Structure 1
Amino acid sequence: MNKVEIQLSKTKLLLGIGGSILFVVLGIWLFTHSYDFQNTTSRLPQNPTFIKTIGILGVLFFGGTGTFGIRKMFDDKAGLIIDDTGITNNTNASSIGLIKWSDITKIRTGQVGSTKFLLIYTKKPNYYLNKVKGFRRKLMEGNNRMYGTPLSITSNTLKCKFSDLEKLLNEKLIEQREKMPNR
């Protein structure tokens, strides 16, 4: 198999950073204007503590995604490398590097809202979980609870369409299985 490298899309990263900045600003605004929601006729929550909490959570979450996007803007590594060894993932905050073909049992599509992603199921999910610590591990543990695998790949930061990525990885998995008769 030839080595396939899919680069990170600087345009998609810039759009994501822009969106993160807008949501950080909104979170700050909610925090500083939480008392403005009291005694309104709107259907929104009117508790200032709740509004402040939403603001803080927004700043933390979108500040984190913005920081990740900025770091990726200066990352020269390919977003995804597919070769005879496996899939080397560098697409998202919970990426762990190489996922060996011999470990992969199946690839499925997941979706949250309009965002699609590929779920990579392996024989040894704990092996991959144990490769990371801290916040990345928490992300992967959440993924494992929700989908039964800690590993996911998104095309949101790649220079390719999701459908092309899905087709490529499924074809490569079939190709690798044909090479491994003991599977």
Structure 2
Amino acid sequence: MENTIEIELSKKKLLFLLLGSAVFVALGILFVLNPASIQSDLFGNLEFIRIVGVVSLVFFGLCFVYIATKLFDSKVGLRIYENGIIDNSNATSVGLIDWEDITDIKTIQIASNKILLVETSKPEKYIERAKNGLISRAMKANYKMYGTPILITSNSLKIKYDDLEKLLMEEFGKRVK
């Protein structure tokens, strides 16, 4: 592939994400097994504390498993080439995103996390590529909230967000007619 740009997955960033997930799994276990130790004026209801613990266990447990799997993933995190973008950086990755389907690339910020929204003329095409029902629901939620099912961050990539944004904007600009 001529003029291919490849960005590797960052094992260091993934390890930090894995550690964070492990902490929240441990807290979830504490909330489920010993909710009285967490009880306070703010969190007085023991059943509520248990529910928060279960939600934390399920969500961050899934994150932990996914991130642990990504640590051993030998695929490139993000590939940019003449046909489009292949994103392998997050759970909602759907393979090749064709340049001809991309209508715009925008940045949003949620708390301190910046995210690239890859707007497409064929959102259903990419939602249908979801690996399972959970991923499909996540992509539909992205589409409903942000107007696109395709979101890219630098959280697991060996690149700073600003550099990733600049690179994708430049590559997209070369292909806009």
Q: What stretches of structure 1 of length at least 5 have no aligned partner?
A: none
Once the two structures are superposed, residues 59-86 of structure 1 have per-residue CA deviations (whole angstroms, 9 ceiling, x without a partner) of 1111111111110011000000000000
| Identical amino acids, percent of aligned pairs | 45
Report matched runs for 1:22-171 at 5 Å.
22-37=23-38, 42-132=40-130, 133-171=132-170
Report matched runs for 1:10-21 at 5 Å.
10-21=11-22
The alignment's TM-score, normalised by the length of structure 2, stands at 0.95
Amino acid at match of 1:24: V
Q: Out of 131-140 and 155-164, give the one that drifted further.
A: 131-140
Kindly tell me the number of residue pairs found equivalent between the two proteins.
175
Contact 1:37 1:47 in 2 (8 A): no
Q: Which runs of 4+ in 1 moved over 3 A?
A: 35-38
Corresponding residue SS for 1:23: helix
The alignment's TM-score, normalised by the length of structure 1, stands at 0.92
Q: In the TM superposition, what is the alpha-carbon distance from 1:117 to its structure 2 partner?
A: 1.0
Q: In the TM superposition, what is the alpha-carbon distance from 1:138 to its structure 2 partner?
A: 1.1
Looking at structure 2, the residues matched to 121 and 115 of structure 1 have their Cα atoms a distance apart, in angstroms, of: 19
Q: In the TM superposition, what is the alpha-carbon distance from 1:44 to its structure 2 partner?
A: 1.7
Looking at structure 1, the residues matched to 121 and 113 of structure 2 have their Cα atoms a distance apart, in angstroms, of: 26
Q: In the TM superposition, what is the alpha-carbon distance from 1:113 to its structure 2 partner?
A: 1.2
Looking at structure 2, the residues matched to 152 and 60 of structure 1 have their Cα atoms a distance apart, in angstroms, of: 23
Amino acid at match of 1:163: D
- CA RMSD across the alignment: 1.2
Amino acid at match of 1:31: V
Looking at structure 2, the residues matched to 61 and 36 of structure 1 have their Cα atoms a distance apart, in angstroms, of: 22
Q: In the TM superposition, what is the alpha-carbon distance from 1:137 to its structure 2 partner?
A: 0.6
Amino acid at match of 1:146: M
Q: In the TM superposition, what is the alpha-carbon distance from 1:46 to its structure 2 partner?
A: 1.0
Q: In the TM superposition, what is the alpha-carbon distance from 1:43 to its structure 2 partner?
A: 3.4
Once the two structures are superposed, residues 117-136 of structure 1 have per-residue CA deviations (whole angstroms, 9 ceiling, x without a partner) of 10000000011111113111
